[in-house]
Amino acid sequence: MGIKNLKRLQTALVVGTVSVLGTTAGWAKDVKVAYIPCGQVNDGSWSEAGYDGVKAAKDALAKSGTNITIDYSENLSPSQAEVAARDYATKGYQTVILHCGTFANAAYNAGKDFPNTNFLIVVAPKSVKNVWTYIPAMQDISFVAGYLASKMSKSGAVGVVASFNFSNITWQAEGFRLGARYGNPKIKTYSNYINSFDDAGKAKEAAQAEIDSGADVIYSATDQASRGIYAAAETNGNFAIASYSDQSKLSPKTVLASALANIPLLVENMVTGSVDGKLVADKIYSVGMAGGIGELALNPELSKTIPPEVAKEVQTLMASIKSGQIKIPAISEPGQSEQYDLNGLKPK
């Protein structure tokens, strides 16, 4: 390990000297970064969003003279993720990004044994020494999605289909339901947990169950299984709202909008911060709309169906949340959003 560091230093020195001669940018770094997501980097959802962020960080850092190489490992179990993280650390990677909630232990354990490597872990309890956690506070943008859904609903009922009853996913689902109530206090909201990230068939039946009970806009908090939701929505002529990435091209006639958590932006900021050594010690990077995480990407084909007043109200709402006037709670218990006092959401 000591010899490796020496070699890296030598390489850096050589590269640095050469590039100083060649550019005016000053000292150029060669840095290796590893990305370990839940699924595959082209899954069109959570894992791909994170990968886009790492790539964006690469571009951003290249402008300031740092050259990153990105390597990734896909579809790992939590235990295999730890093996991978340790392996990357042994090989001298500067930053290892674990973009999956189940990899928290992997990050902390590897972080303890490899103090010279930075570990970034999503949705974890704490940041400690060389391990930082970043949390996209998706309840903010889910709230906005719920608001939009309630305004677009003709039947007076909307629903959300979620993967698991795990905190950060429940925040999304309940955030949506709360936002729907905010837009229409009389609205009925449903939630359905399918206990899977990839069982599209179950997602379809869950969505259908809500549609059969009257819901006509369905929010997806299910990762790749969202395909099933779009199938159900298409069959019944309903709208769906996607999560994590812009999925309007996947189902142009049904996906009304996508609740982007700007995961790419969050990951990009974390990676650039890590490589530049600018991350604050022991800080939990929980970022919501106030920090730029949370955007509603409208489907260009369907945006005409949104009445102009509604579009304006959505913009106003988003501005209020961004400025901190309205604070969206993180609700961890399914169904609690139905009891939440809407008065607590009045802009201050």
Partner 1 sequence: MNANVDAAVTDRRRPIVLGVGLVLASMALTGLVLLPIGINPIGAYAQILKGAFGSINALTEDLVYATPIILTSLSVILAFRCGLWNLGSDGQLYLGAIATVGLGFNRFGLPGPALLPAMAVAAFAAGAVWAALPAVLRLRFGASEVIVTIMMNFLAVTIATYLVGGPWASGITPATAPIVPDGFLPVLMPGTRLNANFLVAIAAAAILSFVLRRTVFGYRLRTIGQNIDAARYAGMPVNRIRFLSFACAGGLAGLAGFGEVAGIYHNLPNGLSPGFGYTGIVVALLARLNPIWAVIVALALAALNVGSGGMQRAMGIPVSLVSIMEAVLILLVLSTRLLERRA
Partner 2 sequence: MTLSSLIELSFWIPLLAAGVRVATPLVFASLGEAVSERAGILNVGIEGMMALGAIVGFLVAYWSGHSWVGLLAAAMAGLVASLIFGFLTIFRGADQIVTGIVMNILLLGLASFAYASIFSSAHVVAQLTAIPVFRVPWLSDLPIIGRPFFAQSPIVYAVYLLIPVFWLLLEHSHWGLSVRAAGENPEAVDSAGINIWYLRLQAVSIGGAMAGLAGAILAVVQIGAYVDGMIAGRGFIALAIVVFGGWRPWRVAAAALLFGVVDAFQLRLQVSGVPIPSPFLIGMPYILTIVVVAFVAGRAGYPAAINKPYPLRHFAQDPKVDTG
Where does this chain bind partner 2 (CB under 8 A)? Answer: 39-40, 42-44, 48, 74-75, 159, 165, 188, 190-202, 204-206, 208-210, 212-213, 224-225, 227-228, 230-231, 234-235, 249-252, 333-335
Cβ closest to partner 2, residue 140 vs residue 198? 198
Of residues 7 through 36, those in contact with partner 1 by CB under 8 A are: 34
- Calculate the CA dihedral of residues 136, 139, 143, 145 and round it to 10 degrees: 50
CA 158, CA 155: separation in Å to the nearest integer? 8
> Rounded to an integer, what distance in angstroms lies between the CA atom of residue 53 and that of residue 213?
38
Q: Between 288 and 327, how does the x/- string for binding to partner 1 read (CB under 8 A)?
A: ----------------------------------------
State the binding partner of 213 from partner 1, partner 2, none, CB within 5 to 8 A by kind: partner 2
- CA distances to 2, 67, 190 from 161, in Å: 50, 41, 8
Q: Out of partner 2, partner 1, none, which partner does residue 88 contact, by CB within 5 to 8 A per kind?
A: partner 1
Q: Given candidates 50, 101, 136, 264, which one binds partner 1 under the rule CB under 8 A?
A: 101
Instruction: Please classify residue 139 by burial: count the beta carbons closer than 10 Å to its beta carbon, then call 0-12 exposed, 13-18 middle and 19+ buried.
Output: buried
Pairing of strands 239-243, 217-221: parallel
CB-based contact 144:132 (threshold 8 Å): no
Query: Could you say whether residue 102 binds partner 1 (CB under 8 A)?
Result: yes
Binding mask 119-158 for partner 1 (x = CB under 8 A): ----xxx---------x-----------------------
The whole-angstrom separation of Cα 274 and Cα 63 is 16
Q: Does 86 bind partner 1 (CB under 8 A)?
A: yes
The yes or no reply on residue 166 touching partner 1 (CB under 8 A) is yes
Q: Which is nearer to partner 2, 59 or 212 (CB)?
A: 212
Nearest CA to 105 out of 138, 83, 89, 87 is that of 83
Look at residue 132 and give the partner it binds from partner 2, partner 1, none, a contact being a CB closer than 5 to 8 Å depending on partner kind.
Answer: none
Q: Among residues 103, 138, 140, which one has the least CA distance to residue 124?
A: 103
> Residue 93 Cβ, how far from partner 1 at the closest point, in Å?
10
The label of the residue with tokens 């997501």 reads 37
CA distance 241 to 271: 29
Question: Considering the rule CB under 8 A, would residue 76 count as an interface residue with partner 1?
Answer: yes
Q: Residues interacting with partner 1, by CB under 8 A?
A: 34, 40, 71-80, 82-84, 86-88, 90, 101-102, 104-105, 109, 113, 123-125, 135, 164-168, 195, 332
